[in-house]
A and B are shown apart, each in its own frame.
Chain A
Amino acid sequence: MSKATSTAAMEAPATYGIMAEFTDSSALIHAAEHLRDAGYTKVEAYTPIPVHGLDVAIGHKPSRLPWLVLAGGLTGSSGLFAFMTWVNLVDYPMNIGGRPHFSWPAFIPITFEGMVLFSALAAVFGLFLICGFPRPYHPVFNAPGFERATTDGFFLCIETSDPLYDAAKAKSILTGLGATAVNEFSE
């Protein structure tokens, strides 16, 4: 695909992408929308704050995390409720003053806590799973000035895996969109 850059890529290490820095979030969103409309698909933004609308501007799909959390919550609540029912009806039924074995209202607090516990575990570990954490190293850390992405730098990266990737063209587009610095960086 990206044969145009293959000569540069021959020198190890390979180029990972081109990173542009913007001064603020609105310029970044504008640039991301422009790239999305121009047909770029391997684009990612890196920001020090959550920027609302940026995921749509880039073209990310909505997260499936809520479904995972729902599954966790149903597992925790139904699992514990079924367990308590089994204990009190099957495994060790005890007749205390003629009260029913299946006294389900008394099982609700633990059912509820099980729902919360398993949902929260699903939310946190699902987040890590979807984000691919832990991953202490990533090529974007090689981009010049990228340490500012966790302070006040707004970055936009086009990866070489994008079918439209062309360093010179990308650089001119990004500069035209208001990037203050545009650099290729290696893996």
Chain B
Amino acid sequence: MQSSKQLKPPVTETYDSLLAPGQSLNSVTTKISDIVLFPVLKTPVGWIIGFVAAGLLLMLYLYSLATLFTVGIGIWGINIPVAWGFDIINFVWWIGIGHAGTLISAILLLFRQDWRTSINRAAEAMTIFAVACAGIYPLIHTGRPWLDYWFLPYPSTLGMWPQFRSPLEWDVFAISTYATVSVLFWFVGLVPDLATLRDRSTSPIAKTLYGLASLGWRGAAKHWQRYEVASLLLAGLSTPLVLSVHSIISFDFAVAQLPGWHVTVFPPYFVAGAVYCGFAMVIVLMIPIRRWFGLEGLITMKHFDVMSKVMLASGMIVTYGYFGEIFYAWYSSSVYEYYLIVNRFTGPYAWSYWSLILFNVLIPQVLWSKKLRQNLPVLFFVSMAINVGMWFERWVIIVLSLHRDFLPSSWASYTPTFYDWSTYIGSFGLFFVLFLLFIRFIPMIAIFEVRDLVHKTTAHTADHEESGHAGA
């Protein structure tokens, strides 16, 4: 119960294994559930400070949205020709972050990668909260969000239907499906752990609430069998879903005929970028969390090593995309495509293009070194750089393509306003408020999956303190 308050002993890092040695079913269950199960009044001060800070950012967000709704989108810096600015940049950025959670929870489940076990729950939570932050942008960027139900096909008195051939309408279906399936998948994964909390909590209120949320899970063999089938099916559905969502988002650009957007490489390039940025965000969140909650035995250096390698690989795909864009500009012989690249290299926003190359291509190269991969301050810095770099990537794609298109007479520039920034920074408030509530009330590591990993790795040695009565 006092695990989060006691003085931290010196950390012994585990480098070659997914679990520190000497874990049992009971020890991992106690370790993870004790982070959640302690009285509300004994919440750590650090959590409260974080929650207040995130809450203030959330207030800034609500203030920005209230101003937006009462005044209109004229408070933003967008205009013609740059009609998509921070709203769509941040939408794509946030939803890209979310994709790492689905990748870890679904794709790595199908590939039976055990290293996903300690990080999948937090990564899935990150997905849901990032999708919430992302989904708000397209809703508010319409300027009249109270009419957003027009996106949906409903039998209206106007006799009109949405344009089902438009990528913007595909977005509506892709994102709402993604949000729904992510929440369902997450909740199904939570049920056995909520039952563990129900059985371990001593407070009657906690027992009742976790009891209701766990739906009466009792670990019956029949239920486990159905449960595993359902998990596998959901993973199998989520895998093409996550690829389709970012592909459809890339169609928002690729289907348009604007230089810099009209390229066939966009779907894989966007998906790889999403994985890149999402893994960076998982690392940024996990490095402090494992330290604060003493989870070094469950989230080991091996996890960071594997995640760094995924980041490096997806970063190389993204880099290939950057070179590909330069190649197309030359190979297409289109003056507009060619000018776009010249504008990126030397135009008024060249600083953003070179920042993108610095943050996304150059800095992450340090991950080739195993020594630097396993140096957490370095890894944290690199991951932050990737998050910033991926934000610049969306900026470059959106603003640099829009501000100078075919006719020089329609060229203009784009400068974000205070409200652009406050809506963006404020959305972190929403994200962190939700994330802090999550780590306070829900086990941030999937307990039953870690138990399963312990069970597999200890290979039928006795799970109890008593003398092992291993079966034949």
Interface size on B, residues (CB 8 A): 71
B177/A117 in contact, CB under 8 A: yes
A147/B215 in contact, CB under 8 A: no
Contacts of B199 in A (CB 8 A): 147-151
A110/B173 in contact, CB under 8 A: yes
Is A82's CB within 8 Å of the partner chain B?
no
Interface positions of B from 23 to 40, Cβ below 8 Å from A: 24-26, 29-30
A29/B471 in contact, CB under 8 A: yes
Is A178's CB within 8 Å of the partner chain B?
yes
Nearest B residue to A69 via CB reads B233
Interface positions of A from 10 to 53, Cβ below 8 Å from B: 22-30, 32, 44-51
Contacts of A51 in B (CB 8 A): 221, 224
Contacts of A152 in B (CB 8 A): 24-26, 29, 451, 463-464
B221/A119 in contact, CB under 8 A: no
**Interface of chain B, main secondary structure:** helix
A127/B177 in contact, CB under 8 A: no
Binary contact readout B183-197 vs A (1 if CB under 8 angstroms, 0 otherwise): 011011000100110
| Most chain B beta carbons < 10 A, residue from A29, A124, A126, A134 | A124
**Interface of chain A, main secondary structure:** helix
Contacts of A106 in B (CB 8 A): 164-165
Given A58-B221, A150-B199, A178-B469, does the pair A120, B215 have CB atoms closer than 8 Å? no
Is A183's CB within 8 Å of the partner chain B?
no
Is B159's CB within 8 Å of the partner chain A?
yes
Is B346's CB within 8 Å of the partner chain A?
no
Interface positions of B from 218 to 235, Cβ below 8 Å from A: 218-230, 233-234
Query: Which of A26, A44, A66, A136 makes the CB contact (< 8 A) with B472?
Result: A26
Query: Which of A54, A83, A132, A140 makes the CB contact (< 8 A) with B221?
Result: A54
Given A49-B451, A180-B466, does the pair A120, B181 have CB atoms closer than 8 Å? yes
B466/A44 in contact, CB under 8 A: no
- Least Cβ–Cβ distance between B31 and chain A, in angstroms: 12
A24/B234 in contact, CB under 8 A: no
Is B132's CB within 8 Å of the partner chain A?
no
B470/A26 in contact, CB under 8 A: yes
Given A24-B468, A123-B234, A136-B212, does the pair A109, B173 have CB atoms closer than 8 Å? yes
A110/B24 in contact, CB under 8 A: no
B230/A150 in contact, CB under 8 A: no
Contacts of B192 in A (CB 8 A): 150
Interface positions of A from 79 to 100, Cβ below 8 Å from B: 83-84, 87-88, 91-92
- Least Cβ–Cβ distance between B414 and chain A, in angstroms: 30
Binary contact readout B401-444 vs A (1 if CB under 8 angstroms, 0 otherwise): 00000000000000000000000000000000000000000000
Interface size bracket, A side: 35 or more
Is B160's CB within 8 Å of the partner chain A?
yes
Is B51's CB within 8 Å of the partner chain A?
no
Query: Which of B174, B180, B218, B468 makes the CB contact (< 8 A) with A23?
Result: B468
Contacts of B464 in A (CB 8 A): 23-24, 152
Contacts of A150 in B (CB 8 A): 29, 192, 195-196, 198-200, 217-219
Is B153's CB within 8 Å of the partner chain A?
yes
Contacts of B228 in A (CB 8 A): 50
A46/B161 in contact, CB under 8 A: no
- Least Cβ–Cβ distance between A176 and chain B, in angstroms: 13
Q: Can you list 14 A-B pairs with a CB-CB distance of less than 8 A?
A: A26-B470, A48-B451, A66-B233, A110-B173, A116-B177, A117-B180, A119-B233, A123-B234, A127-B227, A132-B216, A133-B216, A136-B212, A136-B215, A148-B199
Residues of B that sit less than 8 Å from A by CB: 24-26, 29-30, 153, 159-161, 164-165, 167, 169-170, 173-174, 176-177, 180-181, 184-185, 187-188, 192, 195-196, 198-200, 211-212, 215-230, 233-234, 237-238, 240-241, 244, 248, 251, 448, 451-452, 455, 460, 462-464, 466, 468-472
Additional A-B contact list (10), CB under 8 Å, known A49-B452, A120-B185: A24-B460, A30-B472, A58-B222, A112-B240, A123-B237, A124-B234, A127-B188, A131-B222, A140-B218, A151-B196
Interface pairs A-B: 7 shortest CB-CB: A26-B471, A152-B25, A135-B216, A106-B165, A27-B471, A147-B199, A133-B215
